[in-house]
């Protein structure tokens, strides 16, 4: 069946005017997945914040209890003993100026970047290349640190970084379609819990405005927000 017909068939199973309980929403995401690869499940959350105001920027990271279902390739900017620590922790790529030169040349075969604080002057040279791809190390999400062993292990075990976009929306992966429902549910609740805890004190009114979930190719399924908040509490 052509992709157009598959997507149409998947959309017909989802009532866009309805909000679903989390369990039902996750079941629908699995049911409407039709790609031949193991699709990523992504959560989209509209927050009641104004990202243009610095005190309402929601950004952070959370280690999902069941990981992301993929091998994370970690790059670390470090030297000396810290470079050895990163290598021993399992980082695929460890270096300094050599990695900067490779990235300047258009190489981006890694999923996350970590740096020791003393390397940020060097890393800053490629900030304009890493930033737009969401790969720039940042102390707010724990990717600028001297504790490289812990940082590398967290990245590999399914650490998800989140950052609110200009429209007030956060997009974040929560696993794969092949995960069982309970594992997906635990990951979703961990992410939502982290977002609730990251609520800016200056944000007024409703904070979690709209939540939807989908697979890479599948249709979005709207989640009942009040019911979701009760699950998190």
In the chain, domain spans: 16-58+164-232, 74-157
Work out the pLDDT band at 7, boundaries 50, 70, 90.
low
In CATH terms, 74-157 corresponds, of 3.90.180.10, 3.90.850.10, 3.40.50.1000, 3.40.50.790, to: 3.40.50.790
pLDDT digits (tens, 9 = 90+) for 152-193: 999 998 889 898 988 899 999 999 999 999 999 999 999 999
- CB 123 within 8 Å of CB 135: no
Cα–Cα distance measured from residue 136 to residue 45, given in angstroms and rounded to the nearest whole number: 23
More confident residue, 114 or 10: 114
- Look at the alpha carbons of 91, 97, 102, 103 in this order and tell me if their dihedral is positive or negative: positive
State whether CATH 3.40.50.300 applies to domain 16-58+164-232.
no
The domains spanning 16-58+164-232 and 74-157 adopt the same CATH topology: no
7-16, 22-31, 74-83, 116-125: least confidently modelled range? 7-16
Cα–Cα distance measured from residue 114 to residue 124, given in angstroms and rounded to the nearest whole number: 13
- CB 56 within 8 Å of CB 203: yes
Cα–Cα distance measured from residue 183 to residue 211, given in angstroms and rounded to the nearest whole number: 18
């Amino acid at each position: 069946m052509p992709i157009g017909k598959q997507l149409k068939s998947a959309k017909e199973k989802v009532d866009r005017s309805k909000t679903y309980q989390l369990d039902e929403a996750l079941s629908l995401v699995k049911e409407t997945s039709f790609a031949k690869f193991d699709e990523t499940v992504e959560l989209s959350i509209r927050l009641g914040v104004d990202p243009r105001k610095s005190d309402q920027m929601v950004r952070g990271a959370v280690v999902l209890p069941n990981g992301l279902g993929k091998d994370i390739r970690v790059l670390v900017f470090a030297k000396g003993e810290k470079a050895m620590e990163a290598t021993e922790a399992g980082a695929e790529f460890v270096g300094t100026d050599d990695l900067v030169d490779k990235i300047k040349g258009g190489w981006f075969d890694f999923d996350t970047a970590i740096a020791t604080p003393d390397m940020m002057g060097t890393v800053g040279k490629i900030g304009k290349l890493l930033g737009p791809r969401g790969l720039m190390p940042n102390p707010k999400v724990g990717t600028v640190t001297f504790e490289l062993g812990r940082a590398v292990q967290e990245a590999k075990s399914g650490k998800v970084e989140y950052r609110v976009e200009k429209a007030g929306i956060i997009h974040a992966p929560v696993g794969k379609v092949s995960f069982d429902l309970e594992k997906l549910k635990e990951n979703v609740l961990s992410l939502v819990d982290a977002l609730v805890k990251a609520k800016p004190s200056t944000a007024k009114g409703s904070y979690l405005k709209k939540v939807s979930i989908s697979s890479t190719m599948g249709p979005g399924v709207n989640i009942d927000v009040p019911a979701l908040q009760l699950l998190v509490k």
